[in-house]
Structure 1
């Protein structure tokens, strides 16, 4: 799943923290970072604040219910969480 132009990164992390399964950020090189980790979230936030938003996030979401939860967040204008 690829998310683009995420401006409510804190809200996204709130949704990710509520997920039951694994949610990973996948780099262009194929590296995977656990986004339920606070350290990984802080690093992503640092990048977000330098631009005001995160341009592209490629996520690997294992649980189908978690995938729906994240998609609902994005569809509703990032107002959930």
Structure 2
């Protein structure tokens, strides 16, 4: 199965990190320069996210997911701006 791509806009970083922690497969941040950073790695999270943050939020990012379930989580997060843990 081919990896899935999600485009994120105006993302709250702490909530985004919560969603990443709940993902099962590998998640990659794609830069406009063609770099790929594995966001399951805390070091890559720091390096990758600091390059994209504007005013405390991620302005724009392209995320590639290996698992369809992770793509769904990130798509819902992008749409509703919540990690999903709030719903109880």
> Could you say whether these structures have the same fold, taking a TM-score greater than 0.5 normalized by the shorter chain as the test?
yes
Deviations 1:21-58 (A, max 9, x none): 1100011121100011111222315753x522111011
User: CA RMSD for the aligned pairs?
Assistant: 1.9
Count of residue correspondences:
79
Give structure 1 regions of 4+ aligned residues with deviation exceeding 4 angstroms: none
Unaligned runs of 5+ in 2: 1-5
Cα distance in 2 between the residues matched to 1:60 and 1:53 = 19
1:4 maps to which residue?
A: 9
Unaligned runs of 5+ in 1: none
Structure with more of its chain in helix, by fraction? 1
Secondary structure class of the residue paired with 2:71: helix
Structure with more of its chain in strand, by fraction? 2
Cα distance in 1 between the residues matched to 2:84 and 2:29 = 20
Pick from 65, 69, 78 the counterpart of residue 69 of structure 2. Answer: 65
Pick from 27, 31, 37 the counterpart of residue 33 of structure 1. Answer: 37
